[in-house]
């Protein structure tokens, strides 16, 4: 009797994760994705993402660092910066000087910011003048429904939160587009310049009303300022110290007849930042190494500013944490801790899009939807310029952790060589000499007003992050 020959293959081809997903895991996936959709729908700005994260972390026993005089294994604390960037720390069994396990994503997303003097009247309407933030394609922002979120800070320091356009009973806003009948000239302009940055003015109102206190002259702008004063107690000068962000209105939604995807604004990078947060919250046992979650601001404009990862916030906070663990901790101990750390730079990657195959890297080097968490060895542009470029050794270690934990994963690149490029916070963290690799969810329509992510990839990224935190 002949025995069946066992097939051996040395080929590797990532599989569609739905094909081998168990019923039990499918249930977990759906639960995780519905909770993420709720988060994404609320966290429309970095400030709102911060608030939601604090709420969630508090439920899991995280407390502000100021509440602790000393830190020991198992303790859970968070540190904020400017109400925008947050760092959550869970002290592990090993001393901090052995290094950290860090997952860092960002919660800012491309949008339109109000200018310091934003409200003006022209041609029978009142508009909000904006400056776009991050890499947008301007034509996405005309003819869409918009909401406004942010804060106005009065000169006495009081802060007024503004949020208009999400509730179905709220008014919404829009930026008008040119009618096709009169767009003959504009239609021939390159996509890049057809809609101008200075053309992104948001329609706020159109009804003239008499001013207050006997001022008989009717004005649309006066009416808008009256409404704002009645509702929020603010005046025109207060907009100088305001941060108002114009974003797509409405919640994240399931996408597709099979409901296998999620459409929403700001997946980049709330999808990875949330996965890092949830992974940290869901670790049951005290981890071997101290786990750190970073949900940071300003990534989309190069990580500048005091709340960006190009600041000393991270380093200063680690020094604080270490001095609470060991009051004799030296500057050298902090440097050792940083250089011995390992990090997943939790950011999104692009997917192979059958609508635009011409920009894809060939030979299976593009991430595909539903093929799992995307591991990106390098980003950058041209000859890897600006890339952090993870070492082969660290990529090997991540492969082992993901495979041992049964995480569906794949590799990805930011498109074809010489087609374009981009970067993440990875390089700012690599400065300390730690191992860092980009790793996250693949998207269709990155930086658009309707970004799309596959549920399987969203869940597997969370699963991979959790395995990283739990690794020995």
Which residues contribute to the site for Mn ion (CB under 5 A)? 268-269, 347
Which CB atom, from 268 or from 353, has the smaller least distance to Mn ion?
A: 268
Smallest CA-to-CA distance from 349 within 471, 454, 219, 242 is with 454
Which CB atom, from 200 or from 273, has the smaller least distance to Mn ion?
A: 273
Smallest separation, CB 446 to Mn ion (Å) = 6
Tokens of 54: 């604090």
| Alpha-carbon gap, residue 21 to 27, rounded angstroms | 10
Q: Give the residue nearest to Mn ion (CB).
A: 269
Smallest separation, CB 424 to Mn ion (Å) = 6
Which CB atom, from 75 or from 269, has the smaller least distance to Mn ion?
A: 269
Smallest separation, CB 287 to Mn ion (Å) = 26
φ, ψ of residue 370 to 5 degrees: the values are 70, 10
Whole-angstrom CA distances from 388 to 257, 426, 427 are: 39, 6, 5
| Alpha-carbon gap, residue 58 to 306, rounded angstroms | 25
Smallest separation, CB 438 to Mn ion (Å) = 9
Smallest separation, CB 268 to Mn ion (Å) = 4
Which CB atom, from 92 or from 415, has the smaller least distance to Mn ion?
A: 415
Smallest separation, CB 274 to Mn ion (Å) = 13
Which CB atom, from 65 or from 271, has the smaller least distance to Mn ion?
A: 271
Tokens of 243: 């941060």
Which CB atom, from 324 or from 425, has the smaller least distance to Mn ion?
A: 425
Which CB atom, from 273 or from 329, has the smaller least distance to Mn ion?
A: 273
Which CB atom, from 268 or from 470, has the smaller least distance to Mn ion?
A: 268
Smallest separation, CB 407 to Mn ion (Å) = 21
Q: Are 423 and 367 in contact (CB under 8 A)?
A: no
CB burial class (10 A; 0-12, 13-18, 19+) of residue 384? middle
| Alpha-carbon gap, residue 445 to 455, rounded angstroms | 16
Q: What SS3 class is residue 343?
A: strand
Which CB atom, from 298 or from 368, has the smaller least distance to Mn ion?
A: 298
Q: Are 40 and 263 in contact (CB under 8 A)?
A: no
Q: Bridge-partner residues for 244, per DSSP?
A: 150
Q: Are 241 and 152 in contact (CB under 8 A)?
A: yes
Tokens of 208: 């003239």
Smallest separation, CB 460 to Mn ion (Å) = 18
Q: Among all chains, which residue has been given the structure tokens 């250089």?
A: 339
CB burial class (10 A; 0-12, 13-18, 19+) of residue 9? exposed
Q: Based on C-alpha coordinates, what's the Rg of the chain?
A: 24
Smallest separation, CB 207 to Mn ion (Å) = 38
């Amino acid at each position: 009797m002949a025995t069946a020959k066992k097939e051996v293959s040395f080929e590797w081809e990532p599989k569609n994760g739905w094909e081998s997903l168990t019923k039990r895991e499918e249930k977990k996936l759906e639960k995780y994705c519905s909770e993420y959709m709720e988060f994404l729908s609320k966290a429309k700005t970095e400030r709102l993402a911060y608030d939601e994260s604090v709420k969630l972390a508090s439920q899991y026993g995280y407390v502000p660092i100021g509440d602790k005089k000393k830190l020991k294994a198992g303790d859970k604390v968070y540190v904020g910066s400017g109400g925008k960037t947050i760092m959550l720390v869970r002290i592990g069994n090993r001393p901090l000087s052995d290094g950290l396990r860090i997952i860092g994503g960002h919660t800012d997303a491309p949008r339109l910011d109000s200018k310091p003097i934003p409200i003006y009247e022209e041609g029978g309407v009142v508009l909000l003048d904006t400056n776009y933030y991050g890499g947008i394609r301007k034509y996405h922002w005309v003819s869409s429904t918009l909401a406004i979120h942010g804060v106005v800070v009065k000169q006495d320091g009081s802060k007024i939160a503004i949020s208009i356009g999400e509730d179905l009973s709220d008014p919404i806003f829009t930026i008008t587009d040119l009618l096709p009948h009169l767009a003959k000239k504009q239609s021939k302009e390159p996509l890049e310049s057809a809609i101008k940055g200075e053309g992104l003015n948001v329609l706020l109102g159109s009804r003239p009303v008499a001013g207050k206190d006997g001022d008989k002259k009717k004005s649309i702008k006066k009416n808008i300022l009256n409404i704002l004063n009645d509702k929020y107690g603010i005046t025109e000068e207060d907009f100088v110290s305001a941060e108002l962000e114009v974003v797509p209105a409405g919640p994240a939604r399931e996408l597709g007849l099979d409901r296998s995807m999620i459409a929403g604004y700001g997946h980049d990078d709330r999808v990875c930042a949330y996965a890092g947060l949830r992974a940290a919250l869901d670790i049951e046992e005290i981890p071997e190494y101290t786990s750190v979650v970073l949900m940071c601001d300003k990534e989309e404009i190069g990580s500048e500013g005091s709340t960006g990862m190009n600041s000393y916030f991270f380093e200063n906070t680690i020094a604080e944490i270490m001095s609470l663990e060991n009051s004799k901790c030296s500057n050298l101990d902090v440097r050792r801790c940083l250089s011995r750390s390992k990090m997943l730079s939790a950011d999104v990657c692009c997917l192979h899009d059958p609508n635009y195959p011409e920009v894809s890297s060939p030979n299976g080097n593009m991430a595909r939807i539903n093929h799992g968490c995307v591991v990106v060895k390098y980003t950058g542009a041209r000859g890897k310029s600006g890339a952090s470029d993870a070492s082969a050794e660290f990529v090997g270690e991540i492969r082992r952790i993901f495979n041992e934990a049964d995480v569906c994963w794949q590799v990805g690149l930011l498109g074809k060589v010489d087609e374009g490029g981009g970067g993440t916070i990875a390089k700012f963290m690599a400065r300390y000499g730690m191992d860092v690799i980009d790793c996250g969810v693949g998207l269709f329509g990155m930086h658009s007003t309707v970004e799309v992510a596959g549920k399987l990839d969203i869940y597997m990224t969370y699963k991979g992050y959790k395995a990283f935190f739990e690794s020995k």
